[in-house]
């Protein structure tokens, strides 16, 4: 019996109880769904397998004492197949205990479901655009981008596991002065000149200059303006290529790469997407002209001040590109937009939400802006190439993809984070990623050893899974779909990481107490075979959980 099965049984009992009261003449205003009947695992396993506070939630609408309601529901639950007992505790909690066969049946369910176990349709029908990283193409990705890459990709994975249609998007900020300064920096390096004021330092610029000269040997013979443009365009292509490669090596894939230049490019009608965006916002009634400039009345939607979208000299502000980009996402069919931005972008929250409102969307429903906090690494050296940053490529080579991704995904986005590389490079249980991966490798080793002595899954007798560690392990396995759905709805993939750490601990304890392989001359029996199902179910859930945070599940360690 799964938690969903138990919630449904409890929902049916509540529905019948409410109907009885109505037939008795009571006026009951109650709207309830099975999803609203929350079950929790008791911290003290002596209290049963599951607990519900539904009786206390029903007390006011039913006008009854919660313990009386709980007693009535508990009596009904006691007659449900798979339920051993249902007891009332405290002010009206219902503690439910399942029989071993009902609880143990989950092991086969998980093995049969395979990679699909934990996936739900909770967010089915939602089409989400998830934008993250979006670093300027003027240098290598650094430690901050690394966190947003790991976190953004993990958020995408849990959203998809909950049934959402998600597109990972990278916004290439390839317009404006920073691109000109980038081009001037590369050209200066090609000429052997110092970095210009406002330019980009670091040996990576010299490396780019060398590669630009290989691509365009006549660069230095060109007029200065043509040489700068040529250096900028070639270096931009090369640097963006490096960013793509770094992310792919980090197992982060983007479905869409959107160039800011495209938003400024003129169409056949002579207008750009940015030009059109201003008029579209004006049509919504939130654009006005003042002091020769064009403004968006973002204060209508909680912004601290109205925003200039086009200056008096006709030059568009960055807000104009933001507006065109937001509208472009909607035009591409994304009803919901999520932005994952760095810690220095707090000012964008109200601005983007106000923009959504000005565009005719619901700022509380159609857009989310998640702000990630800073991350640092003890003892990390600044990049030799970039000079003033810690590069993603260097971190990956030093700590490994799995350790880095797991660590960055196991903390909430809004938590400042300091990583201890000494822990991450240990092959000990105090290294969380090692602890979880080792548990998975152990399930694989049990599989191999079982096959070598003839233990297989030819029979399944879940009623034999009676050991207390088996009950605890099965209880945790039942939780996985709920954890995944919760992680998706709250945009908190760290919940999955913390869950599989707990599951790994329960598995290790089970492994120490319950043998899958027969001991000595002991004959192979149904208990061994059934425990192999439980072993394999645990391995599958560990594998599924690791995949959701973008980390491998090794079979040997």
DSSP 3-state of 143: helix
**Pair 325, 263: CB distance under 8 Å:** yes
**Pair 539, 110: CB distance under 8 Å:** no
pLDDT at 41: 83
Are 116 and 218 part of one and the same domain?
Answer: no
Are 153 and 272 part of one and the same domain?
Answer: yes
Within-domain flag for 398: no
DSSP 3-state of 88: strand
DSSP codes, 143-166: HHHHHHHHHHHHHHHHHHHTT-EE
List beta partners, residue 94. 52, 88
Strands (E), 398-507: 417-419
Are 226 and 294 part of one and the same domain?
Answer: no
From 152-156, 304-308, 342-346, the region with the lowest mean pLDDT: 342-346
Kindly report the number of other CB atoms within 10 A of residue 229's CB atom. 15
Minimal CA–CA distance to 139: which of 220, 76, 218, 206? 206
Over residues 170-195, the pLDDT tens digits come to 999 999 899 999 999 999 999 999 99
Q: Which residue has the tokens 């599940």?
A: 553
Are 290 and 150 part of one and the same domain?
Answer: yes
Q: Is residue 385 scored above 70 in pLDDT?
A: no
The mean pLDDT of 477-494, rounded to a whole number, is: 96
- 488, 489, 494, 497 alpha-carbon torsion, rounded to 10°: -50
**Pair 128, 334: CB distance under 8 Å:** yes
130 secondary structure, DSSP code: E
Over residues 23-66, the pLDDT tens digits come to 888 888 778 888 788 888 887 777 888 999 999 999 988 888 99
**Pair 237, 212: CB distance under 8 Å:** no
Within-domain flag for 419: no
Within-domain flag for 421: no
Are 324 and 371 part of one and the same domain?
Answer: yes
CATH code, domain carrying 501: 1.10.730.10
Confidence of residue 383 (pLDDT cuts 50, 70, 90): low
> Do strands 287-290 and 256-259 pair parallel, antiparallel, or not at all (unpaired)?
unpaired
Averaged pLDDT of the chain: 93
Q: Is residue 382 scored above 70 in pLDDT?
A: no
CATH code, domain carrying 325: 3.40.50.620
Are 269 and 156 part of one and the same domain?
Answer: yes
The mean pLDDT of 358-384, rounded to a whole number, is: 85
Within-domain flag for 532: yes
Within-domain flag for 382: no
pLDDT at 319: 92
Higher pLDDT, 494 or 143: 494
Are 159 and 291 part of one and the same domain?
Answer: yes
Minimal CA–CA distance to 538: which of 449, 442, 448? 442
Minimal CA–CA distance to 124: which of 167, 148, 160, 169? 160
- Domain end (from 223, 249, 275): 249
- Residues of the chain with pLDDT > 70, as a percent, come to 99
Q: Is residue 2 scored above 90 in pLDDT?
A: no
**How many domains would you assign to the chain?**
4
Are 363 and 265 part of one and the same domain?
Answer: yes
Are 274 and 151 part of one and the same domain?
Answer: yes
Q: Widest CA span of the chain, in angstroms?
A: 96
Are 270 and 158 part of one and the same domain?
Answer: yes
Total number of residues shown for the chain: 557
Within-domain flag for 557: no
Within-domain flag for 412: no
Within-domain flag for 93: yes
List beta partners, residue 288. 295
Structural domain including 85 reads 3-98
Confidence of residue 384 (pLDDT cuts 50, 70, 90): low
> Is residue 410 packed enough to be buried (19+ CB in 10 Å), middle (13-18) or exposed (0-12)?
buried
Are 309 and 195 part of one and the same domain?
Answer: no
Are 81 and 185 part of one and the same domain?
Answer: no
Minimal CA–CA distance to 212: which of 450, 63, 433, 222? 222
Over residues 428-474, the pLDDT tens digits come to 888 999 999 999 999 999 999 999 999 999 999 999 999 999 999 99
Confidence of residue 397 (pLDDT cuts 50, 70, 90): very high
DSSP 3-state of 337: strand
């Amino acid at each position: 019996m799964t938690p969903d099965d138990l919630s449904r049984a409890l929902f049916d009992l509540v529905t019948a109880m409410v109907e009885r009261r109505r037939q008795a003449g009571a006026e009951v205003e109650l709207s309830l769904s099975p999803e609203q009947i929350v079950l929790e695992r008791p911290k003290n396993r002596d209290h049963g397998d599951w607990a519900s506070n539904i009786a206390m939630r029903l007390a006011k609408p039913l006008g009854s004492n919660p313990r009386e309601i709980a007693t009535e529901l508990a009596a009904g639950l006691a007659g449900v197949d798979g339920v051993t007992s249902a007891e009332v505790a405290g002010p009206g909690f219902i503690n439910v205990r399942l029989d071993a066969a009902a609880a143990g049946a989950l092991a086969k369910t998980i093995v049969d479901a395979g990679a699909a176990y934990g996936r739900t349709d909770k967010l089915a029908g939602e089409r989400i655009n998830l934008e993250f990283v979006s670093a300027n193409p003027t240098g290598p990705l650094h430690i901050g981008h690394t966190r947003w890459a790991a976190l953004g990709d993990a958020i995408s994975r849990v959203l998809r596991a909950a049934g959402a249609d998600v597109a990972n998007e990278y916004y290439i900020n390839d317009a404006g002065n920073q691109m000109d300064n980038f081009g001037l920096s590369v050209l200066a390096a090609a000429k052997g000149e110092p970095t210009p004021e406002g330019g980009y330092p670091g040996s990576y610029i010299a490396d780019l200059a060398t590669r630009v000269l290989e691509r365009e040997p006549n660069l230095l013979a060109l007029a200065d303006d043509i040489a700068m443009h040529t250096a900028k365009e070639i270096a931009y292509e090369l640097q963006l290529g490096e960013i793509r490669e770094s992310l792919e090596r980090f197992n982060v894939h983007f479905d869409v790469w959107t160039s800011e230049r495209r938003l400024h490019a003129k169409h056949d009608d002579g207008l750009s997407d940015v030009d059109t965006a201003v008029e579209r916002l004006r049509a919504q009634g939130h654009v006005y002209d003042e002091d020769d400039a064009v403004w968006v009345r973002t204060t209508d939607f909680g912004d601290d001040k109205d925003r200039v979208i086009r200056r008096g000299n006709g030059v568009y502000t960055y807000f104009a590109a933001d507006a065109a980009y937001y509208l472009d996402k909607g035009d591409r069919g994304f009803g919901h937009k999520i932005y994952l931005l760095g810690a220095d972008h707090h000012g964008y929250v109200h601005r983007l939400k106000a923009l959504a409102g000005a565009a005719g969307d619901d700022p509380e429903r159609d857009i989310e802006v998640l702000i990630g906090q800073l991350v640092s690494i003890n003892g990390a050296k600044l990049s030799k190439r970039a000079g003033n940053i810690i590069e993603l490529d260097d971190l990956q080579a030093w700590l490994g993809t799995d350790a880095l991704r797991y660590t960055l995904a196991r903390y909430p986005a809004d938590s400042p984070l300091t990583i201890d590389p000494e822990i991450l490079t240990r092959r000990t249980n105090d290294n969380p990623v090692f602890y979880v991966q080792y548990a998975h490798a152990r399930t694989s080793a049990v599989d191999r050893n079982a096959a070598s002595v003839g233990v297989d899954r030819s029979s399944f007798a879940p009623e034999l899974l009676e050991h207390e560690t088996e009950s605890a392990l099965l209880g945790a396995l039942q939780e996985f779909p709920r954890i995944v759905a919760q992680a998706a709805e709250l945009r908190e993939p760290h919940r999955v990481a913390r869950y599989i750490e707990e599951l790994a601990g329960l598995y290790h304890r089970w492994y120490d107490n319950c043998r899958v392989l027969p001991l000595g001359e002991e004959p192979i029996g149904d208990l061994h075979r059934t425990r192999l199902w439980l072993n394999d179910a645990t391995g599958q859930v560990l594998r599924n959980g690791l995949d959701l945070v973008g980390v491998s599940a090794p079979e040997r360690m």
